[in-house]
Amino acid sequence: MKTVELVSQRLHNQRLSAPGFRQPVEVVRWFGAVQSQDFEAARWAVALRMQSATNDAIENAFNRGAILRTHIMRPTWHFVADDDIRWLLALTAPRVNLRCGPNYRKFELDDALFKRSHKVLENALRDGKHLSRSDLRRKLNESGVAANDTVRLAHILVRAELDGVVCSGPRIGKQFTYALFDERVPASNTIDRDEALAKLTRRYFSSHGPATLQDFTWWSGLNAADAKRGLEAVAGQLETESVGERVYWKRRSREDATHSSHIAHLLPAYDEYFVAYKDRQSVLETQSVKSSLTTWDLLGPTVIIDGRAVGMWKRTKKSIEVKLTRALKKAERVAVDRAAARYAEFLGLNPSQFGGIHFGEISRRR
């Protein structure tokens, strides 16, 4: 398999070149989870995989609880479908707790303290109440659980998420709230750990493949032994291809992964197209590009054309500013204009309200 084929297949399986989903929850369920510590960026990431989507549509799905936002897999927020959250937490929460362990100890957070804080949160949120972080800080302090330190409070709430006590509630204006987990999340049948492991592995390689075992281990937050066991459980449903000495796994499919040339996307920060892989080198075009754009840059808002990173972008009050690593061909610039128009439509704005796109060049790093 050539690198260009790997990129093309990822674009297809990530549903960037084939955005066929109609509902936000379908996108999140397809991926298994979507990184969402940047809420605005994550909404755009979901919309990019849909036939047509507005900012309000994603917001409504979140406020209804069809998609939830919680700490899962790795110690950061992810969107997760309401019917997936229970088995995903059961599978991945122990590893997240392990990684949070040093801060638990630093802030003197032990099982006895968490038992007390969980009870306070349960009482505060019972009967459908949705409270903000500041509201819960006050409730904890009033109960004698010190919560004025921002990091200590964050870890109290993370542990409550991981233990299935709380999850995201609807936003009130632009303010996030928490809800009682068992009141917000529908009941579901329990599945055993091996089934959950196989399910997550299948989801990852279907939506992110071709990808390596190391990529999956990074994305899932699982230890290497569990990731390998998950891959062995579903290997018969996958197929492999190689680039050099690296083995890539993907789902067996008869779908055509080809797409037209000069298709551009304005990817948000922490998009699954980049953040879901330990090795992101394949999306950098040439040696000259590598000198001005690093794989760490790819975690920010990135311009891609035909799956390859060609620059960074940001929205200002009046325009979209694009900084490129190279000059664009006429057809490529048209494609970037089209991508910006789609973003404007997502926001519910007329493209002319952006005042156009301002193109610049990324400074060369020494």
Residues 216-233 pLDDT 10s = 999 999 999 999 999 999
Contact call for residues 114 and 158 (beta carbons, < 8 A)? no
Residue 34 is assigned to a structural domain of this protein:
yes
Last residue of a domain, one of 144, 160, 184: 184
User: Does residue 174 sit in the same domain as residue 282?
Assistant: no
Last residue of a domain, one of 168, 184, 200: 184
User: Does residue 49 sit in the same domain as residue 169?
Assistant: yes
User: Does residue 84 sit in the same domain as residue 174?
Assistant: yes
Which residues touch 359 (CB under 8 Å, ≥6 apart)?
Answer: 322, 323, 324, 328, 333
Residue 240 is assigned to a structural domain of this protein:
no
Label residue 301 by pLDDT band (50, 70, 90).
very high
- Average model confidence (pLDDT) for the chain? 92
The torsion angles phi and psi of 267, rounded to 5 degrees, stand at -80, 140
Distances (CA, A) of 330 to 214, 334, 335, 343, 364: 38, 6, 9, 20, 23
Domain that holds residue 276: 264-361
User: Does residue 89 sit in the same domain as residue 180?
Assistant: yes
Last residue of a domain, one of 150, 167, 184: 184
Distances (CA, A) of 294 to 219, 254, 305: 20, 34, 16
Q: Domain tally for the chain? A: 2
Residue 42 is assigned to a structural domain of this protein:
yes
* Spatial separation of the C-alpha atoms in residues 247 and 262, rounded to whole Å: 28
User: Does residue 151 sit in the same domain as residue 292?
Assistant: no
Residue 68 is assigned to a structural domain of this protein:
yes
Asked if residue 286 has pLDDT above 70, the reply is no
Label residue 16 by pLDDT band (50, 70, 90).
very high
105-124 mean pLDDT: 98
User: Does residue 163 sit in the same domain as residue 285?
Assistant: no
184-189 mean pLDDT: 93
Residue with tokens 């204009």: 337
Q: What does the pLDDT read at residue 366?
A: 34
Residue 3 is assigned to a structural domain of this protein:
no
Q: What's the pTM?
A: 0.93
